[in-house]
Structure 1
Amino acid sequence: MPATDLSLLVKAAELAGDIACRYTGPEAKRWDKPGGAGPVTEADLAVNAMLEDMLPKARPGYGWLSEETEDSEARLSCERVFIIDPIDGTRSFAEGSRTWAHSFAVAEQGEVTAAVIYLPQRELMYTAAKGRGAACNGTPIHVSTDTELASAEVLAAKPNLQAHHWLNGTPPEFIRSYRPSLAYRLAKVADGRFGAMLTLRPSWEWDIAAGDLLIREAGGAITDRTASLLRFNNPHPRLNGVVAGNSTLHQALMARLDPDSPGIAGH
């Protein structure tokens, strides 16, 4: 990983925040994507346009994968690729909430090596680089030290607790919480505020890539719902769910999940 990849992503996130915050979420023009793929606003598109101009110019050999850019097979032949979610939590943005994030990553041969999750309206800049740890606003962060799943706070939407996802049909006991942005959920596990998170639906790489490195560099464990390590820049850029936390809570959740249960549509 070029040493400057992280600083490049930080600069891009700061510029993205400046652009997005010019819009008032509820007043921003909004469209629904085809096929029930969710909403997009003019702020998402403005941020994406800036990033698609800035980042490839800075790294001409890198591939490009973004939620708001039509995908191209060209990225598959690139050793390194940008994985970009211009605004993660678009529904929250459109509703006027502050809980949305910019989520940017660089992956090299399938492994994320630099990552930023930035919440400009909460003044939270999460950063990570391979082998250099994870931080929030420059202060090192670490996953929770909780060891008891029953008393741990776990970020998960209600559909994840449906009985058919769990062995013996009984979800484990834990304190359930929720945040609308997948990137933010991963960041809050990385900084130890929550013990773990899970989403059992197929998940786009751009929602997960930056958080994957944050979790790992903060001392945590992160896999898909079958306990397979996450790899990025796949031909179809979707992952088979995500389970993340400190190693103890991750193992406890994985021991209870039914790996053969079908995915879900909700978060």
Structure 2
Amino acid sequence: MFTPEDDLALIRTAAAEAGRIALGFWKREPEVWWKGSSPVSEADFAADAHLRRVLLAARPHYGWISEETAAQPAGAGEQRFFVVDPIDGTRAFLRGETTWCISVAVIGAGRPIAGVLDAPALGEVFGATADGAATLNDQPIAVSAFERKRKLLLSMPDSMRRRLEDARGGEIDFAANVPSLAYRLAMVASGRLDGTLVGARANDWDIAAGDLILERAGGRLVRADGQPHLYNPAPERHGVLVAGAQGAVRRLLDYGLEAA
């Protein structure tokens, strides 16, 4: 049995190379296709192909879930599986912005046990295991020391922001939206934001690595009922989720999410 630290070392190395592959397409007008209203580029496919090849060669019995390729079940008797978004924030990537990342997690018994977010255009690598500290470039990170008497600093999609602004605008400072949900969770984990709301219909690959990194940094990602999200080997969309420092999550849950 590989330890979470073993798995973190593997996915960190694989994500770093996937980031280098993606940088080869960044700001170079890669070919783009559309999945409904969502773009996917040749950079996404190239990074995904690398991750699938390297990770399943090293852990052939693990399962596989990715935004860009078909799911593969785990081998007999194996509970662990990879959850991968080869480029989270493709829209930002295609606009030449820096806030996109490679997101890779290993799930065991329904929860992430190792996770990495590699943002190569920013030179930032976030990582965590289920029994270790969350780090940014190998230095420990922690969520904000949130106090209920001050305003929340949040980032979220504009549609959610407008509704929350109408209902609770006097209690919130809104930072600019960050299209990459994974990187937004990393910003919360590193104390740059107090929290964020995750819109319904996001997928497990958008949140798995960030969920663990946030948890190990002292924060939480929870459902509207306050319970953690559980991951299973079938790709799954979910309802509205709340992420943040402990106090921020409590206040957002108190809002009842009627504005989400």
What are the superposed Cα offsets for residues 181-204 of structure 1, whole Å, 9 maximum, x if unpaired?
Answer: 000000000001111111232210
- In the alignment, which residue of structure 2 is the partner of 1:237? 236
- In the alignment, which residue of structure 1 is the partner of 2:245? 246
Runs of 4+ in structure 1 displaced over 6 angstroms?
A: none
> Is 1:26–1:93's contact at 8 Å kept on the other side of the alignment?
no
> Is 1:128–1:134's contact at 8 Å kept on the other side of the alignment?
yes
**1:226 Cα deviation after fit:** 3.1
**1:171 Cα deviation after fit:** 3.1
Please report the RMSD computed on the Cα atoms of aligned residues, expressed in angstroms: 2.1
CA distance in 2, matches of 1:190, 1:88: 17
Amino acid at match of 1:31: W
> Is 2:63–2:233's contact at 8 Å kept on the other side of the alignment?
no
**1:241 Cα deviation after fit:** 2.4
**1:161 Cα deviation after fit:** 3.8
- In the alignment, which residue of structure 2 is the partner of 1:10? 12
CA distance in 2, matches of 1:234, 1:52: 16
Give the match's secondary structure for 1:27: coil
Amino acid at match of 2:31: K
Give the match's secondary structure for 1:122: coil
**1:235 Cα deviation after fit:** 3.2
- In the alignment, which residue of structure 2 is the partner of 1:122? 122
- In the alignment, which residue of structure 2 is the partner of 1:154? 154
- In the alignment, which residue of structure 2 is the partner of 1:206? 205
**1:236 Cα deviation after fit:** 4.4
1:28 and 2:54 correspond: no
CA distance in 2, matches of 1:246, 1:195: 6
Paired residue total: 255
Give the match's secondary structure for 1:148: coil
Aligned 1:1-267 pairs, distance under 5 A? 2=3, 3-25=5-27, 27-33=29-35, 35-36=36-37, 38-72=38-72, 74-75=73-74, 78-148=78-148, 150-161=150-161, 163=163, 170-171=167-168, 173-177=171-175, 178-233=177-232, 235-258=234-257
**1:239 Cα deviation after fit:** 2.1
CA distance in 1, matches of 2:160, 2:74: 32
CA distance in 2, matches of 1:140, 1:209: 19
Q: Percent identity?
A: 35
User: CA separation of 1:70/1:139 partners in 2, compared to 1, >3 Å: closer, same or farther?
Assistant: same
CA distance in 2, matches of 1:79, 1:71: 14
**1:91 Cα deviation after fit:** 0.8
Which stretches in structure 1 are left out of the alignment for 5+ residues?
none
Give the match's secondary structure for 1:113: strand
CA distance in 1, matches of 2:99, 2:15: 15
Give the match's secondary structure for 2:168: coil
> Is 1:221–1:250's contact at 8 Å kept on the other side of the alignment?
yes
CA distance in 2, matches of 1:107, 1:67: 16
**1:225 Cα deviation after fit:** 2.8
